[in-house]
Amino acid sequence: RGKRAFIAGVADDNGYGWAIAKSLAAAGAEILLGTWVPALNIFESSLRRGKFDESRVLPDGSLMEITKVYPLDAVFDCPEDVPEDIRTNKRYAGSAKWTVQEVAESVKQDFGSIDIFVHSLANGPEVSKPLLQTSRYGYLQAISASSYSFISLLQHFVPIMNPGGCSISLTYIASERIIPGYGGGMSSAKAALESDTRVLAFEAGRKHKVRVNTISAGPLRSRAAKAIGFIDMMINYSIENAPLQKELSAEEVGNAAAFLASPLASAITGTVLYVDNGLQAMGVGV
């Protein structure tokens, strides 16, 4: 049978998660999605109304099938963690079983196992504030949504991953180089994510034969990136200064993810793979 993938962090057709889902679907994988609870209704109704049909087209002309969409909020591990104001919030009250533990349980009940786990989500309420002005709350929220969410999801999904399986997350060069504007502790969160990729590769590899890698992607005009406010500048900077002077497409990141998830990458784990037109290799802009 084909492989089964769960992709956490898809709520429209503009981001990396959607592109990764498409590349995996084109390679024959069955697609399950985890969608942030407050974005679920509009995502599902847009899907139903055919709003994404054009972007569901795969290279062979068929449409990507999404087998199931699970509501997910990756900052809550289990029902006991959910505070009253969230539980009773009207954007959450219509959905059930959306904590990390419950989503993994539902996937296990519905399908038994998965082969590929993708983490394509991040959030930092103070991303537009410089680190020097970031509050403790904002910093911890950034780490919770963008870094610990990966640990928690892997913790709960690894037991239902088949040996030889693989997990992939998305990171950004701001973890290791100064990118003014990527604030609120988001640079710290990506540094944690990359370090955790190495440690989790060891633990998940030894215990479950599961590979763990992260893709350091170049700039893309996604919903999340537009919210940061400097995405057009970053795209233009890359086109001017990277070895490959073209705009990066989400599909190029999707294809790299499909490679990492495939048997062609069976010896690759614990790595940060740059998919950024080579920008990370430059020392100065020319």
| Nearer residue to ligand NAI within complex by CB, 208 or 249 | 249
The pairs formed by 137-142 with CB atoms below 8 angstroms and a separation of 24 or more are 138/184, 138/185, 139/184, 139/185, 139/188, 140/185, 141/75, 142/184, 142/185, 142/186, 142/188, 142/189
Among 142, 143, 158, 170, binds ligand NAI (CB under 6 A): 170
- Cα–Cα distance for residue pair 18/127, rounded to 1 Å: 23
- Cα–Cα distance for residue pair 275/131, rounded to 1 Å: 26
Segment near ligand NAI (CB under 6 A); pick from 10-18, 54-62, 200-208, 266-274: 10-18
Using CB under 6 A as the binding rule, whether residue 127 contacts ligand NAI is answered as no
| Nearer residue to ligand NAI within complex by CB, 238 or 269 | 238
Among 134, 141, 187, 222, binds ligand NAI (CB under 6 A): 222
- How many Cβ atoms are within 10 Å of 49's Cβ, its own excluded? 9
185: left (phi over 0), alpha (psi -120 to 50) or beta: left
Using CB under 6 A as the binding rule, whether residue 219 contacts ligand NAI is answered as yes
| Count of residues that interact with ligand NAI, criterion CB under 6 A | 28
Instruction: Mark whether 182 is an active-site residue.
Output: yes
Using CB under 6 A as the binding rule, whether residue 179 contacts ligand NAI is answered as no
**Shortest distance (Å) from residue 38 CB to ligand NAI:** 8
Using CB under 6 A as the binding rule, whether residue 39 contacts ligand NAI is answered as yes
Contact between 74 and 153 under an 8 Å Cβ cutoff? The reply is: yes
Among 172, 196, 257, 269, binds ligand NAI (CB under 6 A): 172
**Shortest distance (Å) from residue 86 CB to ligand NAI:** 11
Contact between 126 and 135 under an 8 Å Cβ cutoff? The reply is: yes
**Shortest distance (Å) from residue 1 CB to ligand NAI:** 28
Instruction: Give the sheet arrangement for strand 211-217, strand by strand.
Output: 66-72, 30-36, 4-8, 114-119, 161-171, 211-217, 272-275
Phi, psi of 246 (to 5 degrees): -145, 160
Among 4, 5, 7, 15, binds ligand NAI (CB under 6 A): 15
Which residue, 78, 99, 71, 80, is CA-closest to 11?
Answer: 71
**Shortest distance (Å) from residue 61 CB to ligand NAI:** 25
Using CB under 6 A as the binding rule, whether residue 73 contacts ligand NAI is answered as yes
Using CB under 6 A as the binding rule, whether residue 75 contacts ligand NAI is answered as yes
User: Hey, what are 246's tokens?
Assistant: 């073209």
Segment near ligand NAI (CB under 6 A); pick from 55-63, 82-90, 132-140, 219-227: 219-227
Using CB under 6 A as the binding rule, whether residue 191 contacts ligand NAI is answered as no
What residues line the site for ligand NAI (CB under 6 A)?
Answer: 9-11, 14-17, 36, 39, 72-75, 120-123, 145, 170-172, 217, 219-220, 222-225
Residues tagged active-site: 172, 182
